[in-house]
Amino acid sequence: MYGLEDDTRIKHVLVGIEARGGLMAETSYAPRTGAIARVVPETPADGVADVLGAAQAAAAEVGSVAPAVRRDWLEAIARALEEHDDELVALADEETALGEPRLSGELVRAASQLRFYGAVAAEGSWLGATIETEPGLRRVARPLGPVAVFGASNFPFGFGVLGNDTASALAAGCPVIAKAHPAHVGLSVRLAEVATDALTAAEAPPGTLGLVVGMDAGAALVRAEEIAAVGFTGSQRGGLALWRIANERERVIPVYAEMGTVNPVVMTTSAPVGEVAAGFVGSFTMGFGQYCTKPGLLLAPAGRGVPGAVAAALSAAAPQGWSLTAAIARDYAAGLGELLVNGAEKLVETPAQTSGWAGSPAVLRVDAAALKRGSRLLEECFGPVAVVAEYADAAELEAVVSELQGALAASVMSGGDSDPETAALVARLSEKVGRVAVNEWPTGVAWTWAQQHGGPWPATTAPATTSVGAAALERFVRPVTYQRVPDGALPPALQDANPWAIPRRVDGVVS
C-alpha cells in the first residue's frame, strides 16, 4: 500500500535501478483489494546498459570457476531466502494473494531448487565431458554467457527472479539478468537484493545476478548483444513475442519459453468417478487455477455421470481466491465467455470474492465433437475453470486426442495398475506432451533428475529442453571440441588429471 519512497526495504537501489524524476514506474497491486502495493521505477536505457555491462564483465569468471564454487553461491542464495522468509512471504502474499501457507511452502521449494541445481552443477554429468585419445578429440559443454530470465506471475518464488531458470542458468555458469514481474515487482526487487547481497558475501563477482524493471527494459535485454539466451515462463502471447524479437537479432539466440497449455486428463472406462471428480476439482482450482500445469480438460467415458459429479465436487469445495492481477482477472472473465460461445455450457459457477481481482470458479461441459484443432476450447484459460467432455467409445476419444495441441503434461485416471486401457493411452498421450502421469494430477512439478517440464510446440519454443529438473542446465551451454590441444591449454573438465572429478567418457568408457 505504499510506494518506493515509503519503503526502506527497497530503498537499497540495485545495480541499474535508479529512481529518477519523470520516469515510468511499474506498479503492483494487492489482489485482495485492488489497492496499490508497490511502485518501482522502470530501469532506464542507461541502467539496462549498466546491468548488461556488469553481466558481461562477470561472464568469464562465472563460467570458468569450478561448478562446486557455483554450488556454494547457490547455497548462499538459498540460505538468504530462508533467512528472509517471513518478510518475503508477507510481501509476496500482499502482491499475489496466494496465501501465506502456499507461499511459505513455495519459498522452501525455491531454496531446495537452488540447492538441487547446485548439486547437479557439481556432479558434472551435464558437462558431457568426452575424451578420445585418438583422434585426439575432447568435447565439453561451455556456458553461453549472460541469460535473461522472465519469471512467471503465478510462482513468485519457484519460477520468479530466483526460480528454476535463474538457478539452472547460474548452475551452468551463466550470469543472469532477471526482469521483474509486474505482478510482484516489489518482491522481485527484494529477491534480487537479498540474492545479490548473498552473492557478494559468497565472493561471486559483481554482475552475477542483475535485475531490470519494465517492459521496455525487458525487450532491450532480448535485443542486447550481451545476452546469449532467454528463459521465460508465462503465457503463449508473452513467450512467442520474446521468441520473435530474438529471431530478428543479427545473432539469433535461443528463447526457452515454457507456456501455459490445456493439460488434458483422460479417464478410462473403469476409473472411479467420485474420486476423480474430487481430485480434478482440487487440481484445477489449486492456486486459483493459476498453474501452467492446470488440467483444463477432462475426457470422461460417457454414461457414468462425470460432468455432474465434477460440478457437484466444485460446489462442495467452493474454492475461494483472487486472480493475480487485474489483467488476469479480466482475461479470465473474457476467456470464460469465449469458451461458452465456442460450444461449452456452464454446469456450475461458484461465488467469487466480493473485493479485489475476483473471479468465479466454474465447470463447463462440451460435446466431444466440438473439440477441434484451432478451437478456443483446446487452449489454456488461465484461472479456476475446466471443461469436461464425454467420449462414447475409444474411437471418439482418439478423435479428440488427435486434435489436441502440444501440452506440458497429461494424466490418465485409470481403474488401477492392471487397467488394460492404460498402456495405449500413455503411449498416445506421450506423443502430445512432455510428461504423462497415471493416477496423479499434472499440477505438481518435482525438481529432480528425471523431470521433464516442457512439451511439443506450443507448450514450449524448444521442445527438446526442460525448464525444471537436472537437464534444465543443458539449455545454457553449447559444446566445444578441442582437437590435439595440449593438456595445459585445455579447460579443467578435459584435463588428464580431471581436477573437477566429474564423470567423463574416456575412450568409450564412462567413469
Q: Which residues bind a second copy (CB under 8 A)?
A: 125, 128, 130-132, 135-139, 142, 247, 251-254, 406, 417-418, 422-423, 426-427, 430, 433-440, 446, 448-452, 454, 456-458, 461, 463-464, 466, 469-471, 474-475, 477-486, 488-491, 503, 505, 508, 510
Extract the C-alpha cell encoding 445.
512439478
Catalytic residues: 258, 292
- Give the CA distances from residue 21 to residues 25, 179, 269, in Å, rounded to whole numbers and listed in that order: 10, 21, 64
Cβ at position 403, least distance to a second copy in Å: 13
In the DSSP assignment, the letter for residue 206 is T
Closest CA to 120 of 443, 457, 503: 503
Cβ at position 295, least distance to a second copy in Å: 13
CB within 8 Å of 310: residues ≥ 6 apart: 277, 280, 281, 298, 347, 363, 386, 388
Cβ at position 364, least distance to a second copy in Å: 25
Q: Which helix (H) or strand (E) holds 63?
A: helix 45-64
- Give the CA distances from residue 237 to residues 257, 304, 346, 455, in Å, rounded to whole numbers and listed in that order: 10, 37, 26, 17
Separate counts of helices (H) and strands (E) for the chain: 13, 19
Q: Which helix (H) or strand (E) holds 240?
A: helix 236-247
The nearer residue to a second copy, 153 or 164, going by C-beta atoms, is 164
Rounded CA separation 360/351 (Å): 6
Cβ at position 472, least distance to a second copy in Å: 11
Cβ at position 32, least distance to a second copy in Å: 33
Mode of pairing for the β-strands spanning 264-267 and 505-506: unpaired
The nearer residue to a second copy, 158 or 384, going by C-beta atoms, is 158
Cβ at position 156, least distance to a second copy in Å: 23
* Torsions phi, psi for 434 (to 5 deg): -90, -20
Q: Is 260 exposed, middle or buried (0-12, 13-18, 19+ CB in 10 A)?
A: buried
Cβ at position 178, least distance to a second copy in Å: 22
The nearer residue to a second copy, 244 or 330, going by C-beta atoms, is 244
Rounded CA separation 406/380 (Å): 11
The nearer residue to a second copy, 317 or 426, going by C-beta atoms, is 426
Rounded CA separation 202/74 (Å): 9
In the DSSP assignment, the letter for residue 189 is H
The nearer residue to a second copy, 19 or 490, going by C-beta atoms, is 490
The nearer residue to a second copy, 295 or 454, going by C-beta atoms, is 454
The three-state DSSP-derived secondary structure of 98-147 is CCHHHHHHHHHHHHHHHHHHHHHHHHCHHHCCEEECCCCEEEEEEECCCE
The nearer residue to a second copy, 2 or 449, going by C-beta atoms, is 449
* Torsions phi, psi for 158 (to 5 deg): -65, -35
The nearer residue to a second copy, 28 or 269, going by C-beta atoms, is 269
The three-state DSSP-derived secondary structure of 11-32 is CCCCCCCCCCCCCCEEEEECCC
Closest CA to 131 of 500, 490, 499: 490
The nearer residue to a second copy, 215 or 446, going by C-beta atoms, is 446
Closest CA to 166 of 16, 49, 62: 62
First-to-last alpha carbon distance for the chain, in angstroms, is: 57
Extract the C-alpha cell encoding 287.
492456486
Cβ at position 456, least distance to a second copy in Å: 7
Cβ at position 487, least distance to a second copy in Å: 9
Output b/e per residue, 227-256; b: 16+ Cβ within 10 A. bbbbbbbbbbebbbbbbebbeeeeeebbbb
Rounded CA separation 381/117 (Å): 31
